[in-house]
Structure 1
Amino acid sequence: MFIRSLVRYRLICFLIAGIVIGCELPPRNSATITRAVSVGDSVRVGNEEYVMITTAVTMPMYVHHDQAAFIKWGKARGVKVSILGPAEWDVPAQINTIEEVIGTRPTGLLINGTDPAIAQAINKAVAAGIPTVVYDSDIPNSDRHAFLGTDWYEIGRMQGEEMVKLIGSKGKVAYMGILGLTNMEQGFLGMLDVFKNYPGIEVVGKYDDKANVETAARITSDVLSAHPDIAGFCGFDSNSGPGIALAVKEAGKAGKVKITTVDWEPEHLALVKDGTISMLAGQKRELFTWYGAQFLFDMVHQTNRLSHSDAAAGITNVPSTINTGLLKITRENVDEFIK
């Protein structure tokens, strides 16, 4: 029944760098603990399984950074790791995945904080006694044990401050991302708070590109037509930058219309290298994934015990909130990241 449900919700399991990540998560009890997958040449903690649950699991940014770091961590610790979630951006399917995985009694859950709506599912996991860490964007209305990620308000401030410099404190600016997401709305606010100090800057639009390159390109093309004198664009999801850059290039305005955006996939780096994108606000995704998994391990193994029984005392023996910081990538340092 569980396997059929996984298929129904389009859960994806990966085979990366010769490390198999198991699709089947059998129910656990004290009598039977199944290790479907061993990570590395030898398994030191073979009965432990840590599960990452996200949405849009095939998104390159997630695959290259979050998932690669999680797999590397699992190999280093000698434990099984699994990565589950719908192929596309589908929060209800992510919620269903969390709820089904709870019944398999994994050792720990590392959950991408995609939307406030996942709070109840997180609470169910915590109530079931499963160590649960949220990464990327916090779900503050949940009972998660810890959160590691980026301060999105600072992402917005970084973009706003850089755009001010790029356009000489005056001109028209538009911005886009996934509207309604808590983290991006915080990013928008950080950027707008910077622009408030510069009366010469006019914000001509806030757009939802739905994390789609083609949509971002179409929106940018429409804005360029409506505002041929626009000075710059700010992007807030991993596909905003490539989409904006595509339309700006097609309009023959590469380098003239300034672009700042987030993330640092190879495509983003190449666009910085050729001068189409001026700045990337990069998250340290490998850090918040690796240490998020390590927090789970430390909770399970009581690495830093704070009392005779932390569980009985209602204590979580890891930090509750960690800000992993930002990278600022420009043409001056982009080669270091391309290498």
Structure 2
Amino acid sequence: MNKSILVLGTIASLLLGGTAFAQDSLVFAVVPKAMNNPFFDLARDGCEARAKELGNVTCTYIGPVEHEAATQAQIIEDLITQGVDGLAISVSDIAAATTVINRAVEAGIPVITFDSDAPDSQRSAYVGTDNKQFGTALGELLLQVKPDGGTYGMISGGAAAPNLALRVDGVREALAGSAWTEVPGSPTFSNDDIALAVQQMGDLKTANPDIDAIVPVGGWPMFAPDGWKNFVDGFKADVDSKALALVVADTLPQQLQLLSEGYAHGLVGQRPYEMGQVAMDTLLALTKGETVEDIIYTGVDVVTAENVADFLK
């Protein structure tokens, strides 16, 4: 069955048959880039927990199964038709998302973005990470781990994802003027595909046998712990000596565990749970006619072997 049809059918079931859409309840839809990305599970958990605390709000979490910008746009169109009370969207593609965001606003539905922005759309606010600063933090952490420099490559997700482009720029700016140089063909684009991201780790090492660092600007390859371990185990002596430095975005529990076991040198984390919470508060304020900040940053965390135990708690 076509995945778009399956997802949209699920939406119709939720909207038409679920108890969540009681007349005295506000329904806020959270639309991630992909539902098979565990990063967004935490945003879902945050929005659902906050909605429960608010009492009169329901968080409906629905998006493409995989990273597909066209499917995301179709899902948002359907949510507009169904008349949800607010939308929080992690933008896969700026052009596609801007069109549907503007349509939702014209239909009277408050819209915010989270995680990934469409700044020229009519959305009311962006909730999430300062992605340029996030990329800068990744680059600075690499400088801390391996100050003598060398060659590095990056792994990104969707080529049209605005938040990831900002992270790549941030890494490059942090390393500009240092002894680090980027290998040809970097970044590779995994399209948020976890298995492909793991494969691209190996591809970068094969194409550049003497590469000194790999910096995924999203946590995708570490979201498959066994695959990540298999890659690192092939070069464990180099990783242990920091001949091959591994500095990775995000701090999901499985990543923290891998770091604690010596399978990476450092992580720069976002706060997706807080994104989900703040998204609910912001949409509620907008439905009340209140003014909200245009940009609401949720902060980052830098984690190394020295403080990973605190984060694992």
Cα gap change, 1:12 to 1:286, in 2 (>3 Å): farther
What count of residue pairs does the alignment treat as equivalent? 302
The CA distance in 2 between the partners of 1:138 and 1:66, in whole Å, is 15
* SS of aligned partner of 2:151: strand
The equivalent residue for 1:275 is 262
Q: Is the 8 A contact 1:171 1:230 kept in 2?
A: yes
Report SS of the residue matched to 2:166.
helix
Among 48, 55, 58, the alignment partner of 1:80 is 58
What letter is aligned with 1:193? Answer: E
CA displacement, residues 80-126 of structure 1 (integer Å, 9 cap, x when unaligned): 22111221111111101111111111111111222202111000100
Q: Among residues 192, 206, 214, which one is paired with 1:225 in the alignment?
A: 206
Counterpart for residue 14 of structure 2: 24
The separation in 1 between residues aligned to 2:202 and 2:6, in whole angstroms, is: 35
Aligned partner of 2:142: which letter?
A: M
Asked if 1:36 is matched to 2:16, the reply is no
Change (3 A) 1:183 1:246: farther
- C-alpha displacement of 1:35: 6.9
Answer yes or no: is the 8 Å Cα contact 2:4–2:64 preserved in 1. Answer: no
Q: Distance in 2 between matches of 1:152 and 1:297?
A: 25
Q: Which residue of 2 is the match for residue 251 of structure 1?
A: 235
State the TM-score, normalizing by the size of structure 2: 0.88
Distance in 1, matches of 2:25 and 2:164, equals 38
User: Residue in 1 aligned with 2:283?
Assistant: 296
Q: Is the 8 A contact 2:116 2:161 kept in 1?
A: no
Counterpart amino acid of residue 37 in structure 1: A
Counterpart secondary structure, 1:10? helix
Structure 2 segments unaligned to the other structure (5+ residues) = none
Question: Relative to total residues, which structure has the larger helix share, 1 or 2?
Answer: 2
Which range moved further: 46-55 or 236-245? 236-245
Contact kept? 2:67, 2:191, Cα under 8 Å = no
Counterpart amino acid of residue 53 in structure 1 = V
1:152 aligns with 2:131: yes
Q: Secondary structure at the match of 1:113?
A: coil
Partner of 2:27: 49
Partner of 2:296: 322
Please report how far the alpha carbon of residue 22 of structure 1 lies from its aligned counterpart in structure 2 after TM superposition. Answer: 9.1
* CA displacement at 1:229 relative to structure 2: 2.6
Match of 2:140 in 1: 161
Answer yes or no: is the 8 Å Cα contact 2:91–2:161 preserved in 1.
Answer: no
Q: Is the 8 A contact 1:12 1:87 kept in 2?
A: no
Which entry has the higher C-alpha Rg, 1 or 2?
1
- Relative distance call for 1:319 and 1:74 in structure 2 (3 A) is same
Instruction: Give percent identity, aligned residues only.
Output: 24
Give the whole-Å Cα distance in 1 for the aligned partners of 2:2 and 2:30: 17
The alpha-carbon distance between structure 1 residues 93 and 287, as it changes in their structure 2 partners (threshold 3 A), is: same
1:9–1:86 Cα contact (<8 Å) kept? no
Residue of structure 2 in register with 1:31 after alignment: none
1:97 aligns with 2:94: no
Partner of 1:331: 305
Distance across 1 between alignment mates of 2:275 and 2:84: 20
Distance (Å, rounded) in 1 between the aligned partners of 2:310 and 2:80: 41
What TM-score do the two structures reach when normalised by structure 1?
0.81
Aligned equivalents of 2:104 and 2:273: distance in 1? 24
Distance 1:68 1:85, change over 3 A: same
Asked which structure has the greater RCO (Cα within 8 Å, sep 6+), the reply is 2
Residue 144 of structure 2: SS of its match in structure 1? helix
Residue 272 of structure 1 aligns to a residue whose secondary structure is: helix
Partners of 1:35 and 1:46 within 8 A in 2? no
Q: Are the counterparts in 1 of residues 222 and 254 from structure 2 also a CA contact under 8 Å?
A: no
